[in-house]
Structure 1
Amino acid sequence: MEKPFKNTLKSRFPFLCGKNLLLAVSGGLDSVVLAYLCKAAKLEFSIAHCNFNLRGEESDGDEDFVIDLADELEVEVFIQNFDTEAFAEEAKISIQMAARELRYNWFRELSDTLKFEYILTAHHANDELETFLINLVRGTGLEGLSGILIENDKIVRPMLNFTRKEIETYARDNNIKWREDSSNASTKYLRNKIRHNVVPVLEELNPQLLQGFLQTQAHLKESEALIEDYISLIYPKVVKSGKFGYMLDIEYLKKIPNTKAILYQLLKSFGFTEWDDVHNLLDAQPGKIVYSEDYRLIKDRETLILTEINHTEDKIYNVTEGEEVVMLPMGRVCFRDVEEIDENRDNTRIFVAKEKLQFPLKIRKWKIGDYFYPFGMKGRKKISDFFKDKKMSLPEKENTWLLCSGEEIVWVINYRADDRFAITSENQKILKISCCLQSFS
C-alpha cells in the first residue's frame, strides 16, 4: 500500500510535500495506518489526538497509545481533553455532532496558531459508502450523494480511494498495532447500523459492491461538477447584489428549464428546506416570505430578495441638544446651526425650525401606526402608505429610519421631511440636519 499511497500523493496531492501537516489520529486502524504511510512517504507532520472522555479508561488508553505512537514515529503530538457530554447538552446536539464540532474547531485552532498548512484525516472508501447510505436514508440532494470531499479548505483526505480491507491488510502485513474502539461494535448509532447490518447484505447481493459504488461516485461527482459549471454561467444573469442582500430575477428564472432545481442550487447554502414553498414564491403575491433559520426569501414585484434575518432588536438613538453627529449602523446623521437655508436641497438634508423641536430627539425604525405630514403636501399620511406609494421593498422599509421629536416624526430620513417643522419665520433658528445614509429613492 505504500507505493499506491506515494503515487496518490504524487498525482493528486503534490502540494503536501514539504508542507507542515497535522494528522488527526484517534488510535484506531485507519488513522494509525495513515501516520505510518505519511512517515514512509517522508512527509513533515505532527499528530493531534482528541480525548472525548466518553469511554472512561478506554479513552485514556487511546491517549496513551497515541503518545507512544508519536514517540515511535519521532513526531510531535498534541493532546486535547473534552467534556463532550456537557458540550452536547449545552449546545443541544448529539454526542456525535458535539465530538465532530469540538474536534474540527480544535484542529483549526491548532492550525492557525502553529501554522499547519493542511490537516489530514483518515477517511477511506468504506466511509464514503456509509456516508452515501446515511444521506440516502435521511434524504439529500446530489451533493449529499457525491460523497466526502477529498479536499475541503485545509482538510485533506488522502486515503479516500483505499478500502478498509486494504488498510487492514497493510497493518497486519507490517505488524502495526492499533486500538479497537468498543463503541464501533454497537448499533446504537446510525453509521454502525449501516456498517454492520446493511452493508453486509448489499455485499451478499453484489460482492463487488465497493468497486461499483466508487465508479458510481465518480459519475456523480462529474455530474455535480457539470451542474456547478452551469450554475456559474447563469448566476450573473439571475443574481444581483443589492443593498440588503441578493436579488434574483423572477422573469429570467421562469425562462430557465428546471427552475426548481436551479433555485435549489442557488439557495442551498442558506438553510432553506421547504423547496416547494421557495418555488411557489415565483408566482406569489408581493410580500410573501419563506424563512430558513438565519435567512429569508421575500417576493418583491420583479425579484426574490434574499436577506439575513436580524435576530437583535432595533436600537433607538437619542440626540441631545448641541450634539453634532450621531453614528448609526449604516452611516451618520449630522446636526448644525446655520444662518440660512440652502436652496440646493435634496433628500439627504433638511432645514427645520429649531425651537419647534423637543430634545432629546430620537432616531428609530418605523412601526405600524406611524404617520407624518409630508413637506409640500396637505394633511397627514401613514408611513406604511408612504412606503407603498414609493413602491419600497420590505428590506427597504425595514432599513428606513425616522427622526422624531417626542412622538412626532420630523424626517423620514433620506426621503421626506415633515411640514410641521418647516421654517415659517425669518426670526426662527435654523437647524440643518444631514445624513450620509444611502438613498433608496
Structure 2
Amino acid sequence: MQDRFKSHIQSEFPELLTTPFLIAISGGLDSVVLAHLCNSLHLDFGLSHCNFQLRGLDSTRDEEFVENLSISLKCEFFIKTFQTESIAKESKSSIQLTARKLRYDWFQELIETTSHNYLLTAHHLNDDLETFIINLSRSTGLKGLTGIPQRNSHILRPLLKFSKAELKEYAIKHNIYWREDQSNASTKYLRNEIRHKIVPSLLELNSQFLESFESTLEKLKQTEHLIKDYTASLHQSLVSEEANRFNIDIEKLKTHPNPRGILYQLLEGFGFTQWEDVYHLLDAQTGKIVKSPTHQLVKDRNKLTVAALYTEEIKPITIEESDKVVRIINSKLEFQDHKKLEETGKQFAYFDKSKLKFPLSLRPIQNGDYFYPFGMKGKKKLSDFLKDEKISPVDKSSQLVLCNYNGDIIWVLNLRTDHRYKVEKNTQNILKIELKE
C-alpha cells in the first residue's frame, strides 16, 4: 500500500511533496494510518485535533494519544477544545452539524494563520460508498452520486482510492496503534447503520463490490464532466445575466431536446428541491414563483428569472417631519423643503406639503393596495399598475410605497406619485424627496 500511496501522491497531489500541510486527526485508524503514510514519505506536515468533549474521559485520552503520536512522528501538533453541546444548544443545531462547522471553521483559521497550505482528511473508499448510498436515498441528482471530491479548495483527501480493509491491514502489518471510538459501533446515526448493515451485505453478495463501485464512480464523474461541458456550451445562448439575477429564455430552451434536463443543470446549484414545480413554470402564467432556501425562480412572460431571496426583512418605517434622511437597506430617502420644482426623474418626488400629515410611513406593498397615479384619472390597483409598468415579479416583492398619515399611498418609489398630492399653481410649500441608491 505504501508504494501505491506514494505513486498516488506523486500523480494527484504533487504539491504535498514540497508544501507543508496539516492532517485532521482524531486518533482513529484512518487518520493515524494517513499520518504514518505521510511520515514514511518524509513529507512536511502537522497534526490538528479537535476535542469536542462529547465522550468524557475518552475525549481526553484521544487528545493525549494524538499528542504522543505527534511527538513520536516529530511533527507539529495543534489542539482545539470546544464546548460543543452548549454551542449546539445555543445555535439550535444538532451535535453533528455543530461539530462539523466548528471543526472546519478552525481548520480554515489554521490555514490562514500558520505556514500550512493544505489540510488532509482521511476519507477513504468505504466513506465514499456510504456517502453515495446516503445521497441515493435522498433522491439527489448526478452530482450527489459522484462521491466525495478529492479536492475542495485547500482540503485534500488522498485516501479515497483505498478501502478501510487496506488501511487496517497496513496498520496491523506495521504495528500501528490507534484509538477506537465506541460511538462508531452504534447504529443511532444513518451513516453508521449503512456502515454496519448495508455495506457488509453488499460485500457478502460480491467480494469485489468496492472495486466495481470505484470503477462506476469514475464513469459517473466522467459523465458529470460531459454534462457540465454541454450545459456550459448552452449557457451563453439561453441565459442573460443582470445584477444579482439571471434570466433563462424559455422559447430558446424549448428548441433543445430534453429542456427539463437542461433546466435542472442550469438551476441545480441554487438549492431547489421541488423540481416538478420548477418544470411547471415553463408553461405557467407570469408571476408564478418557486422558492429554495436561498433563491426564487419567477416566471416573467417568456423567461424564468433567478434571484436571491431578500435576507433582510423590510419592515414599515415611520417618518417624522423633522427627519431629513431615512435609510432603507441599500438606499436612502432625502427630504428637503422647497419653494419651486427643480430637477425631475423617477427618483424624485414633489408634494404639496400642506396636503401631508406626519408621520408618514414607508412600507412594502400589500394585497389590495391602490392609488391615484399622477397623470391619470381615477384610482388604480397597485398590482395592475406594476403590471402595466412591466415591473418584474422578482422586483414586486421589494417594491416600497410611501404613505400619508391616513394611509393613502403618495408615492410608489421610483415609479409614480399620487395625483391627489401633486404640486399646484397655488402651492406655497413643496416637499422634495429624493431616492438615492
Cα shift at 1:115: 5.4
Amino acid in the other structure paired with 2:205: L
Map residues 289-300 of structure 1 onto 2, 5 A cutoff.
289-300=289-300
Change (3 A) 1:364 1:201: closer
Cα shift at 1:321: 3.4
What is the CA deviation profile of residues 53-74 of structure 1, one whole-angstrom value per residue up to 9, with x for unaligned ones?
A: 3333222221110010011112
Output the CA distance in 2 between the equivalents of 1:272 and 1:11. Answer: 37
Q: How many residues align?
A: 436
Output the CA distance in 1 between the equivalents of 2:311 and 2:285. Answer: 25
1:69 pairs with 2:84: no
What is the CA deviation profile of residues 37-68 of structure 1, one whole-angstrom value per residue up to 9, with x for unaligned ones?
A: 22232332221112233333222221110010
Cα shift at 1:427: 5.6
Change (3 A) 1:394 1:162: same
Change (3 A) 1:90 1:269: farther
Report the counterpart of residue 79 of structure 2 in structure 1: 79
Change (3 A) 1:200 1:324: closer
Change (3 A) 1:427 1:121: closer
Q: Do the aligned residues in 1 keep the contact of 2:352 with 2:427 (CA within 8 Å)?
A: no
Cα shift at 1:224: 0.8
Amino acid in the other structure paired with 1:106: W
1:286 pairs with 2:286: yes
Amino acid in the other structure paired with 1:391: K
Q: Do the aligned residues in 2 keep the contact of 1:260 with 1:275 (CA within 8 Å)?
A: no
Report the counterpart of residue 41 of structure 1 in structure 2: 41
Cα shift at 1:88: 4.6
Q: Percent identity?
A: 49
Report the counterpart of residue 421 of structure 1 in structure 2: 421
What is the CA deviation profile of residues 148-187 of structure 1, one whole-angstrom value per residue up to 9, with x for unaligned ones?
A: 1000112100111122233223222222211122233333
Amino acid in the other structure paired with 2:431: L
Report the counterpart of residue 164 of structure 2 in structure 1: 164
Cα shift at 1:207: 2.2
Change (3 A) 1:127 1:338: same
Report the counterpart of residue 375 of structure 1 in structure 2: 374
Output the CA distance in 2 between the equivalents of 1:433 and 1:86. Answer: 50
Map residues 195-214 of structure 1 onto 2, 5 A cutoff.
195-214=195-214
Report the counterpart of residue 109 of structure 1 in structure 2: 109
What is the CA deviation profile of residues 391-426 of structure 1, one whole-angstrom value per residue up to 9, with x for unaligned ones?
A: 322222222222222122222122112222222235
SS at match of 1:177: coil
Output the CA distance in 2 between the equivalents of 1:253 and 1:374. Answer: 38
Report the counterpart of residue 325 of structure 1 in structure 2: 325
What is the CA deviation profile of residues 65-115 of structure 1, one whole-angstrom value per residue up to 9, with x for unaligned ones?
A: 001001111222222233444455555555444433332232223333435
Q: Do the aligned residues in 2 keep the contact of 1:244 with 1:395 (CA within 8 Å)?
A: no
Change (3 A) 1:150 1:235: same
Output the CA distance in 2 between the equivalents of 1:66 and 1:417. Answer: 70
Report the counterpart of residue 347 of structure 1 in structure 2: 346
Instruction: Name which of structure 1's ranges 375-384 and 302-311 shifts more when overlaid on structure 2.
Output: 302-311
Amino acid in the other structure paired with 2:204: E
What is the CA deviation profile of residues 239-297 of structure 1, one whole-angstrom value per residue up to 9, with x for unaligned ones?
A: 33345633222222222222222222222232221111111111112222222233332
Q: TM-score, normalised by structure 1?
A: 0.90
Output the CA distance in 1 between the equivalents of 2:351 and 2:137. Answer: 66
Output the CA distance in 2 between the equivalents of 1:257 and 1:89. Answer: 50
After superposition, the CA RMSD in angstroms is 2.4
Q: TM-score, normalised by structure 2?
A: 0.91
Amino acid in the other structure paired with 1:394: P
Amino acid in the other structure paired with 2:226: L
Change (3 A) 1:239 1:90: farther
Amino acid in the other structure paired with 1:367: Q
Map residues 16-35 of structure 1 onto 2, 5 A cutoff.
16-35=16-35
Q: Do the aligned residues in 1 keep the contact of 2:339 with 2:428 (CA within 8 Å)?
A: no
Change (3 A) 1:323 1:54: closer
Output the CA distance in 2 between the equivalents of 1:255 and 1:200. Answer: 47
Change (3 A) 1:319 1:103: same
Cα shift at 1:339: 4.2
Q: Do the aligned residues in 2 keep the contact of 1:23 with 1:45 (CA within 8 Å)?
A: yes
Map residues 2-17 of structure 1 onto 2, 5 A cutoff.
2-17=2-17
Output the CA distance in 1 between the equivalents of 2:288 and 2:209. Answer: 47
Cα shift at 1:131: 1.9
Q: Do the aligned residues in 1 keep the contact of 2:238 with 2:253 (CA within 8 Å)?
A: yes
Change (3 A) 1:87 1:419: same
Report the counterpart of residue 175 of structure 1 in structure 2: 175
